[in-house]
Structure 1
Amino acid sequence: MDLARYDARDARQHLPAILELYADVYGVLPYVNDPFFTVDMYAKRLDGAMQMAGFEVAIASDGDQVIGIGHGVTLPPAIPWWQSLRNSLPPPLVDAADEGRIFWLRELQVREPCRNKGIGHAIHDFLCAGRSEGHAVLTVIIDNEPPRSAYLRWGYQIVGRIRHAPESPLYDAMARPLGSD
């Protein structure tokens, strides 16, 4: 497996492969019939992410095939889902967000035949290792197993429950220090 990291400008060259991977990962039940998980909606969210500060994507490939990706940004502290948690968060996380010291892992995707082989963890660690923010946050659908349990094993702690949009599912918001194993 090869891992490579790209900023927003260079990631645009890989959009067809990223969108094809997304279609493969989310083109199954329960996602296939949910408008929130269409490729078009993801493409819009991804385009928005690429315009945010600190955007990076890590791409895992096996030969010519993309087998997984992870991407994230520096968390904008004014983002609505984060604001909805602000009053219940530990003060160090609030301060870190206000100071631009939180990496928001927005997506981590691995093709089904490549799962349970450590690829998702490798992508996560590769992407996080290059970050300077100090903390990482992510959101995961509350019943999305096994990823939810994997994040807990990787040192994330649940800091609240959120919805990204009125039409989105319910998510656990999770946080951990960067550099922790």
Structure 2
Amino acid sequence: MDPEFQRHDAKSAKGIISELVDVYAKVYDVPPYIGDEFFSVDSFRTRLETAFDTKGFETVTARLDGRIVGYVHGATLPADKPWWISLDDRRPAGLIDLAGAEGIFWLRELMVLPELQNQGLGRQIHDTVIAGRTESVTTLTCIVDNQPAHDAYLRWGYTIMGQIKHAEESPLYDAMYLPSS
């Protein structure tokens, strides 16, 4: 069965927040995330609720038999986002200007239920959200030690700009961007 994709703005995403959090809880219920407060369900819920207020917020869900089996959420990258600024001159010059013009999509989270991973669903969700965005470049951060995701993003054409931390308690991330095609 093919998944059904649906786009949600912040208002409609608030209506399915419990489903989104449930998917997160299942995806992150594995080592090394278990027991790490940064990856707790409560911390994620707070980050997601905060993201709803970000300009251009959107989530794309994939459903099978009516249940969410994967989703992505993101927003227009704020040019003054601390992790973005921390990259300083490691950002390609054109991207600095593009961020100032609200031309970069920040893919904040992409997840697929464990039993459906490695079947191409993540790529489908990724491509669906990007195809519907007006921004010409996509950026994301990927945990350095998350080898499967890291390798997938590189295969999909992302380029690493440098390493960042979202917060003192967060792991180390590679900041990546996908050039416009």
TM range, smaller chain: over 0.9
**Could you say which residue in structure 2 is the equivalent of 1:110?**
112
**Could you say which residue in structure 1 is the equivalent of 2:97?**
95
**How many Å separate the matches in 1 of 2:66 and 2:88?**
43
**Could you say which residue in structure 2 is the equivalent of 1:158?**
160
SS of residue in 2 equivalent to 1:131: coil
**How many Å separate the matches in 1 of 2:4 and 2:178?**
26
SS of residue in 1 equivalent to 2:151: helix
**Could you say which residue in structure 2 is the equivalent of 1:16?**
18
**Could you say which residue in structure 2 is the equivalent of 1:124?**
126
**Shift in Å, 1:88:** 2.0
**How many Å separate the matches in 1 of 2:92 and 2:10?**
31
Give the letter aligned to residue 14 of structure 1: I
Give the letter aligned to residue 84 of structure 1: S
Q: Are the aligned partners of 1:86 and 1:94 in contact in 2 as well (CA < 8 Å)?
A: no
SS of residue in 1 equivalent to 2:24: helix
- Percent same amino acid at aligned positions? 47
The aligned runs of 1:32-111 (5 Å cut-off) are 32-111=34-113
**How many Å separate the matches in 1 of 2:153 and 2:144?**
12
The aligned runs of 1:128-139 (5 Å cut-off) are 128-139=130-141
**Shift in Å, 1:86:** 2.4
In the TM superposition, what whole-angstrom CA distance separates every residue of 1:51-110 from its partner, at most 9, and x where no partner exists?
Answer: 000000000010122110100000001111001012221110111111110000000000
> Which residue among 123, 139, 142 is the counterpart of 1:140?
142
In the TM superposition, what whole-angstrom CA distance separates every residue of 1:119-164 from its partner, at most 9, and x where no partner exists?
Answer: 0000000001011111000000001021110000101000010000
SS of residue in 2 equivalent to 1:27: coil
Structure 1 ranges of 4+ moved more than 2 A: none
**How many Å separate the matches in 2 of 1:166 and 1:68?**
28
TM-score (norm 1): 0.97
Structure 1, unaligned stretches of length 5 or more? Answer: none
**How many Å separate the matches in 1 of 2:33 and 2:157?**
27
TM-score (norm 2): 0.97
Structure 2, unaligned stretches of length 5 or more? Answer: none
Q: Are the aligned partners of 1:68 and 1:110 in contact in 2 as well (CA < 8 Å)?
A: yes
**How many Å separate the matches in 2 of 1:7 and 1:42?**
18
**Could you say which residue in structure 2 is the equivalent of 1:5?**
7
